[in-house]
Amino acid sequence: MQHNLARARACAPGARVWGVLKANGYGHGLERAMRGLADADGLALIEPDNALRLRELGWTKPILLLEGPFDAADVAMMAAHGINGAVHGEEQLALIESARLPAAAKPLNLHLKMNTGMNRLGFKPERFAAAHARLRALPHVGEITLMTHFANADETAHPRLPIGEQVRRFNAGAAGLPGPLSLANSAGIFHMPGAARTLGAELVSDWIRPGIMLYGGSPGGKSAEEFGLLPAMTLSSELISVQDILAGDCVGYGSRFQADGPMRIGVVACGYADGYPRHAPQGTPVLVDGVRTRVVGRVSMDMLTVDLSGLPQARVGSKVVLWGRGMPIDEVATAAGTIGYELMCALAPRVRVVEA
Ligand SMILES: *Cc1c(COP(=O)(O)O)cnc(C)c1O
């Protein structure tokens, strides 16, 4: 995580970094991610309870709620613990306006969010300045950062919504407004500097918001290795059984795999109850004793089965890497029709975590 955080900084010289650790630190554990990201300038997440937990764990630098407060109690909690939050819509703006905070409360530092085409959260560009003025008028509001979240930061030439158009909308909506900018997620960090140059635009993010890259996952476009990232999480297990099967024999539920000839099958103690995707098809890559082979048959709750054809030495106890060092999570995710983010976040509580 430290290495990956340094990569993020190197891509955006001078920018401050929100280390994003929502969803239990992308599956790595909140406290573990907090320690791994100790050098970040602030930590950003979604869950108000976990923001409070970070304070209890001793995090004294800024904390940002990426979706802002959900109710008045969250606003009070933000004021009491110096937690920043996004403001992304009319209802939330009204919540901030109607907050009755103790006179001694620290002012709320907020990220006013613009919708630049994602159409999930944020004020439309033409309504942004008015929302900004309403926030500025509030005595209990401190610094207002101008924020957006790009729909296609990794595709400079997206046919529907190119990054240039998103940047143009942001610049139009934010024109003349004071305050730092907070624009880029991992994809933006890797792809936007180029995009901004293409436009000839001077778009500098004062804050960057890396998430997936901090854990060594690729945000898309290139592999994590090509981006210079290292995997933070390795999901490993062992073979707990080896079966010799003959032509015509089948493996697992539904007998989905049928052998063409005699072969050996390894049974790995890892299944969908551990967070391995059940929809991983036959052929999904896996490492056994450091050698690449493939998943065969259906993934079950506690086990999955692998082809040991090229692995005559493999036996019960052989080490298996499902993803992480030596087996990029993005490759497994692609085979399974998903993204590394989902695999990381879905790591199940029963998996024993060992810090190496
Ligand atoms: C999750 C999130 C990020 C981090 O995104 P990555 O793609 O993981 O880098 C940044 N900004 C916001 C608003 C987010 O919700």
Domain 2-215: which CATH class?
alpha beta
Residue 126: phi and psi, rounded to 5, are: -75, -10
- What pLDDT, on the 0 to 100 scale, is given for residue 14? 86
- What pLDDT, on the 0 to 100 scale, is given for residue 235? 98
- What pLDDT, on the 0 to 100 scale, is given for residue 293? 98
212 within ligand 1 shell (Cβ under 6 A): yes
For ligand 1, pick from 183, 209, 218, 343 the residue to mutate: most ligand atoms within 8 Å of CB. 209
- Å from CA of 255 to ligand 1 middle: 40
- In this prediction the pTM is 0.95
**CATH no. for 235-345:** 2.40.37.10
Give yes or no on whether 2-215 and 235-345 have one common fold.
Answer: no
Say how far residue 248 (Cα) sits from the centre of its chain.
Answer: 43
| Below-50 pLDDT ranges, the chain | 197-198
C-alpha–C-alpha distance, residues 121 and 304, integer Å: 40
Q: Which of 282, 286, 246 is nearest to 269 (CA)?
A: 286
3-state SS, the chain, equals CHHHHHHHHHHCCCCEEEEECHHHHHCCCHHHHHHHCCCCCEEEECCHHHHHHHHHCCCCCCEEECCCCCCHHHHHHHHHHCCEEEECCHHHHHHHHCCCCCCCCCCEEEEEEECCCCCCCCECHHHHHHHHHHHHCCCCEEEEEEEECCCCCCCCCCCCCCHHHHHHHHHHHHCCCCCCEEEECHHHHHHHHHHHHHHCCCCCCCEECCCHHHHCCCCCCCCCCCCCCCCCCCEEEEEEEEEEECCCCEECHHHCEECCCCEEEEEECCCHHHCCCCCCCCCCEEEECCEEEEEECCCCCCCEEEECCCCCCCCCCCEEEEEECCECHHHHHHHCCCCHHHHHHCCCCCCCCCCC
- What pLDDT, on the 0 to 100 scale, is given for residue 21? 98
Domain boundaries, the chain: 2-215, 235-345
- Å from CA of 19 to ligand 1 middle: 9
- Å from CA of 145 to ligand 1 middle: 16
Residue 296 β-bridge partners: 305
- What pLDDT, on the 0 to 100 scale, is given for residue 230? 98
C-alpha–C-alpha distance, residues 129 and 48, integer Å: 27
Q: Whose CA is nearest to atom 4 of ligand 1?
A: 211
Residue 79: phi and psi, rounded to 5, are: -65, -40
For ligand 1, pick from 63, 170, 185 the residue to mutate: most ligand atoms within 8 Å of CB. 185
8 A C-beta contact, residue 95 and residue 54: no
Which residue, chain included where needed, has tokens 């439309």? 124
Active site residues: 22, 253
- Å from CA of 166 to ligand 1 middle: 16
